[in-house]
């Protein structure tokens, strides 16, 4: 069914440059969040709750398994209002130790024919100190909040362990789980940190500040070769609390196909950046299946989720939770509720009492 967002609001937003549209949507959400009673109204309009959706992981209670992916709320400006749209959890960031402006605009492009986005934002964010102040002011967190941590553009790779650890230490009080982002394609050299030794140093440095035993996850690229993922799994199983699979792709074939579909192959603005949305789904799902086959480590599945069937496929492949970004741009604020309703329906059709698979497995054993 086509929503009011898709018929009325999206055509207006899509007339704007993609980043300007994002800023307009964010401003509307900030305004809505500040009006008395508005959060309750939004929640009544959008959120869907059902005991079948509830799940527990890392000692945290998730009202549903549909979260907001990193990059939508880089500076935690919307973390107070986003749960009212029906998200079961929110991931803010990527935050870097120092504030930085990111890449020059334009840096976010739509490819509607491919149901995709292309971005080279480059970790534009206000830095760890500003994030700490915002999250402190937020106070109680209605749903679990993840903080996604990255590295400044001009940082020396050798300083990565200390910088990730310092950023984590500054923010650890204010998040429920943390994600070490070593997979964004728009910070030169960042993905080299997916190397086993480099990643181990980062995770050990963070562990030194993690007296509270906050769950620390690692977000990987869908472009990581399957042998590399396999080689990383023992380290990840030992030192990480979970995986976020996956970030955006720079696979040339996927990019070519998406640009071709939109007739954008020759446009300069479309020549660099990470691709998200429908084209990344199969690669991300393959990584989820592979990681699940190798380890019981909890997985947050992300990439190209537009429908409840897409989300169900991730959960069936072994993800415990899912996240959306591009889907939100194409389907609008009703998406989390639509996914939740559809997931409950799918669980019933499959005779499962719970939507999230670990519970299903536990019940099957009981």
Ligand X SMILES: Cc1cc2nc3c(=O)[nH]c(=O)nc-3n(C[C@H](O)[C@H](O)[C@H](O)COP(=O)(O)O)c2cc1C
Q: How far is the CB of 212 from ligand X (least distance, A)?
A: 22
CB-nearer residue toward ligand X: 302 or 339: 302
Exactly one of 248, 290, 320, 356 binds ligand X (CB under 6 A); which one?
248
Q: Least CB distance from residue 116 to ligand X, whole Å?
A: 8
Segment lying near ligand X (by CB under 6 A), choices 77-85, 114-122, 170-178, 347-355? 114-122
Stretch 209-228 residues interacting with ligand X (CB under 6 A) = 219
Residue number closest to ligand X, CB atom = 71
- Dist. CA 287–CA 183, nearest whole Å: 13
Q: Which two tokens stand for residue 39?
A: 């959060």
- Residue placing its CB nearer to ligand X in the complex, 124 or 210: 124
Residue 247 as a binder of ligand X (CB under 6 A): the answer is yes
229 part of the interface to ligand X, by CB under 6 A: no
Residue from 53, 155, 243, 280 in contact with ligand X (CB under 6 A): 280
Write the CB contacts of 363 (distance below 8 Å, at least 6 apart in sequence).
352, 353, 354
**Spatial distance between the Cα atoms of 206 and 169, rounded to a whole number of angstroms:** 8
Residue from 80, 146, 277, 334 binding ligand X (CB under 6 A): 277
Nearest distance in Å: CB 351, ligand X: 29
Interface residues for ligand X in 6-25 (CB under 6 A)? none
What 8-state DSSP symbol labels residue 32?
H
Query: Is residue 117 a contact residue for ligand X (CB under 6 A)?
Result: yes
Closest approach, Cβ 366 to ligand X, in A, equals 34
- Residue from the set 96, 100, 103, 119 that interacts with ligand X by CB under 6 A: 119
The β-bridge relationship of strands 55-57 and 242-245 is unpaired
- Are 23 and 31 within 8 A, CB to CB? no
Contacts with ligand X in 285-344 (CB under 6 A)?
Answer: 302-305, 324-327
Answer yes or no: 184 catalytic. yes
**Interface with ligand X includes 124 (CB under 6 A)?**
no
Helix axes 160-171, 127-138, angle to 10 degrees: 20
Question: Tokens for 258?
Answer: 């998406």
**Between the CA atoms of 171, 187, 190 and 204, what dihedral angle is there, to the nearest 10 degrees?**
-10
User: What dihedral do alpha carbons 116, 340, 219, 352 form, nearest 10°?
Assistant: -120
222: nearest Cα among 248, 240, 242: 248
Q: Is 148 in the site for ligand X (CB under 6 A)?
A: yes
If one asks whether residue 90 binds ligand X (CB under 6 A), the answer comes out as no
Smallest gap from Cβ 292 to ligand X, in A, equals 18
167 binds ligand X (CB under 6 A): no
Number of residues in the chain: 366
* Catalytic-role residue among 43, 172, 183, 184: 184
- 109: which DSSP letter? E
By C-beta, is 161 or 185 nearer to ligand X?
185
Q: Strand 299-302 to strand 321-324: parallel, antiparallel, or no bridges (unpaired)? A: parallel
Comparing CB distances to ligand X, the nearer of 52 and 78 is 78
Among 69, 147, 240, 300, binds ligand X (CB under 6 A): 69
Tell me the β-bridge partners of 125: 100
Of 184, 194, 210, 290, which lies in the binding site for ligand X, with binding defined by CB under 6 A? 184
CB 46 within 8 A of CB 297: no
Toward ligand X, which CB reaches closer, 217 or 352?
A: 217
Helix extents (H) in the chain: 4, 10-13, 18-34, 38-46, 127-138, 160-171, 196-207, 226-239, 252-261, 281-294, 308-317, 326-331, 335-349, 357-365
Write out the residues near ligand X by the rule CB under 6 A: 69-71, 74, 94, 108, 117, 119, 121, 123, 148, 181, 184, 219, 247-248, 276-277, 280, 302-305, 324-327
Catalytically annotated residues:
184
């Amino acid at each position: 069914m086509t929503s009011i967002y898709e018929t009325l609001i999206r055509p207006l937003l899509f007339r704007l440059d993609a980043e300007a549209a994002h800023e307009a949507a964010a401003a509307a959400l900030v305004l809505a969040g500040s009006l008395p009673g508005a959060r309750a109204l939004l929640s009544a309009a959008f959120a869907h709750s059902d005991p079948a959706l509830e799940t527990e992981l890392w000692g945290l209670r998730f009202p549903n398994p549909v979260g907001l992916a990193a990059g939508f709320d880089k500076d935690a400006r919307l973390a107070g209002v986003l749960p009212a749209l029906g998200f079961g959890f929110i991931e803010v960031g990527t935050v870097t130790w120092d504030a930085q402006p990111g890449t020059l605009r334009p840096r976010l492009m739509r490819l509607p024919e491919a149901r995709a986005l292309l971005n080279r934002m480059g970790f534009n964010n206000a830095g760890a100190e500003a994030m700490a102040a915002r999250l402190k002011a937020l106070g109680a967190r209605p749903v679990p909040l993840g903080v996604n941590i990255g590295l400044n553009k001009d940082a020396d790779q050798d300083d990565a362990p200390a910088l990730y650890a310092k950023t984590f230490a500054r923010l650890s009080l204010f998040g429920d789980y943390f994600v070490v982002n070593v997979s964004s394609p728009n910070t030169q050299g960042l993905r080299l940190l997916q190397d086993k030794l480099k990643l181990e140093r980062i995770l050990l440095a963070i562990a030194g500040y993690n007296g509270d035993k906050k769950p620390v996850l690692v977000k990987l690229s869908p472009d990581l070769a399957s042998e590399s993922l396999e080689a990383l799994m023992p380290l990840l199983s030992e030192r990480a609390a979970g995986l976020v699979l996956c970030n955006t792709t720079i696979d040339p074939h996927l990019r070519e196909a998406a640009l071709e579909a939109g007739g954008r192959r020759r446009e300069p603005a479309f020549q660099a950046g990470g691709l998200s949305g429908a084209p990344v789904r199969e690669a991300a799902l393959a990584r989820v299946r592979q990681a699940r086959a190798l380890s019981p480590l909890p997985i947050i599945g992300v990439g190209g989720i537009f429908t409840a069937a897409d989300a169900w496929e991730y959960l069936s492949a072994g993800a415990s939770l899912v996240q959306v970004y591009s889907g939100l741009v194409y389907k609008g604020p009703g998406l989390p509720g639509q996914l939740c309703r559809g997931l409950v329906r799918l669980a019933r059709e499959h005779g499962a009492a719970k939507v999230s698979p670990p519970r299903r497995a536990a019940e099957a054993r009981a």
